[in-house]
């Protein structure tokens, strides 16, 4: 589709610089606009008909994207690193950045990034909240463990426990003789852990309510190693399986493909690429351990690779296999069925993990 106006937006926290060009590349309007719906609509009102716009996928891009989507016929989300690779400028200003985006949009050269649906955005936000609280809880726990490391003789009296912060573990921690100041800090940290546990349970309830009746989550939970949390995370990060032509494309998106160096007719494959969706990569890699513990086929595959290539390559390859199976389940709309077993239609894990 051809458009009359091409709008480049350099988005910042408080304001944006916007450049509007016609089909010949002539700048019709350029200026700084305060970031609110009314100011944006006023700036673009003469050019909103038959127009498309572009902005980079920077921090909180969704705010400007939704405003532009109300005003323009099409909004394109640009991949920041790829835009830089195509049109890096020695002199960098907001006006230049917006102008470059407008030129690339007019020439149909924008390296587009996927703009997640509203459903996926909300799911990701809820999942990120839970991960944030879990990360905070881990930091607090590590701080307590570090504090008790200053009392090696007292620590030696502790009975080894699987969960040092469970009921039995907390009872032991309360009996360790430490200084008065350290005891105050430990008690505060334990209280904070209790509060974080409450917040984690509340965020889990939000996640469950959001994905209730989600067929994709139900199918993903039948995959070995994938519990409630990872099923919801994978579904939210993929968003629409139809945008990937093959499992290989999905693996590249997740960063579960090897880096490749080719020169002089020789090709070398190295470690997995550093780019890609880190959340998908993390989910499938973390799912390997419980998967090989419950599924004989995946265990045999993992052990065979481990014996020849080592632990880490075997883990990554098994994560890639899990991703490939997940792709097939979502593409075909079916549940995982272990070879030689009846389909269970239920998750290997019953709780958020």
pLDDT tens-digit readout, 316-342: 999 999 999 999 999 999 999 876 555
The pTM (predicted TM-score) of the whole model is 0.78
* DSSP secondary structure code for residue 221 in this structure: T
| Weakest mean pLDDT among 13-22, 165-174, 309-318 | 165-174
Burial label, 316 (beta-carbon count in 10 A; 0-12, 13-18, 19+)? buried
Compute the average pLDDT of residues 168-187: 87
pLDDT-based confidence at residue 345 (cuts at 50, 70, 90): very low
Kindly report, residue by residue over 128-153, the tens digit of the pLDDT. 999 999 999 999 999 998 998 888 88
For 105, 220, 284, the CA distances from 335, given in Å and listed in that order, are 41, 7, 17
pLDDT-derived band at 270, boundaries 50, 70, 90: low
Quick one: tokens of 317? 């390859």
Residue 312 and residue 305: Cα distance in Å, rounded? 10
Check if CATH label 3.10.450.50 holds for domain 5-106: no
Q: Can you tell me the mean pLDDT for 20-36?
A: 95
3-state secondary structure of 5: strand
Rounded to an integer, the average pLDDT of 60-66 is 93
Evaluate if residue 24 carries a pLDDT over 70: yes
The ranges assigned to domains in the chain are 5-106, 118-210, 215-332
Rounded Cα distance between 78 and 65, Å, is 11
Decide: 38 and 31 in contact? Cβ < 8 Å: no
Do residues 127 and 236 lie in contact, with contact meaning Cβ atoms separated by under 8 Å?
Answer: yes
CA gap 12, 115 in Å, rounded:
18
Task: Retrieve residue 38's tokens.
Answer: 């009314």
- Give the pLDDT of residue 273: 63
108-132 pLDDT, tens digit per residue, is 999 998 999 899 999 999 999 999 9
Average pLDDT over residues 35-44: 95
Q: What angle do CA 217, 220, 221 make, to 5 degrees?
A: 85
């Amino acid at each position: 589709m051809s458009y009359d106006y091409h709008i480049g937006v350099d988005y910042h926290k408080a304001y944006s610089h916007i450049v509007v060009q016609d089909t010949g590349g002539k700048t019709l309007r350029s200026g700084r606009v305060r970031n609110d719906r009314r100011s944006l609509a006023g700036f673009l009102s003469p050019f909103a008909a038959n127009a498309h716009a572009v902005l980079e996928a920077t921090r909180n891009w969704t705010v400007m994207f939704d405003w532009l989507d109300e005003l323009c016929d099409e909004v394109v989300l640009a991949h920041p690193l790829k835009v830089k690779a195509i049109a890096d400028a020695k002199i960098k200003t907001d006006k230049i950045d917006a102008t470059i985006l407008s030129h690339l949009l007019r020439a149909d050269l924008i390296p587009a990034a996927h703009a997640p649906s509203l459903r996926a955005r909300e799911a990701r936000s809820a999942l990120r909240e839970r991960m944030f609280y879990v990360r905070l809880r881990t930091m607090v726990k590590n701080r307590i463990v570090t504090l008790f490391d200053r009392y090696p003789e007292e620590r030696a009296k502790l009975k080894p426990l699987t969960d040092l912060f469970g009921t039995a573990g907390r009872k032991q921690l309360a009996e360790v003789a430490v200084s008065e100041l350290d005891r105050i800090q430990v008690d505060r940290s334990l209280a904070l852990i209790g509060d974080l546990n409450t917040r984690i349970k509340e965020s889990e309830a939000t996640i469950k309510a959001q994905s209730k009746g989600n067929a994709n989550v139900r199918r993903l939970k039948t995959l070995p190693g994938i519990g409630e949390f990872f099923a919801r995370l994978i579904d939210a990060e993929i968003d629409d399986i139809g945008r990937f032509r093959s499992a290989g494309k999905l693996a590249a998106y997740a960063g579960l493909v090897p880096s490749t160096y080719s020169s002089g007719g020789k090709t070398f494959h190295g470690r997995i690429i550093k780019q890609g969706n880190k959340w998908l990569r993390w989910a499938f890699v973390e799912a390997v351990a419980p998967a090989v513990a419950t599924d004989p086929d995946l265990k045999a595959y993992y052990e065979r690779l481990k014996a020849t290539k080592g632990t880490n390559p075997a883990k990554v390859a098994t994560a890639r296999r899990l991703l490939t199976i997940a792709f097939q389940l979502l593409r075909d709309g079916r549940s995982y069925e272990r070879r030689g077993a009846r389909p269970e239609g239920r998750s290997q894990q019953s709780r958020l993990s």
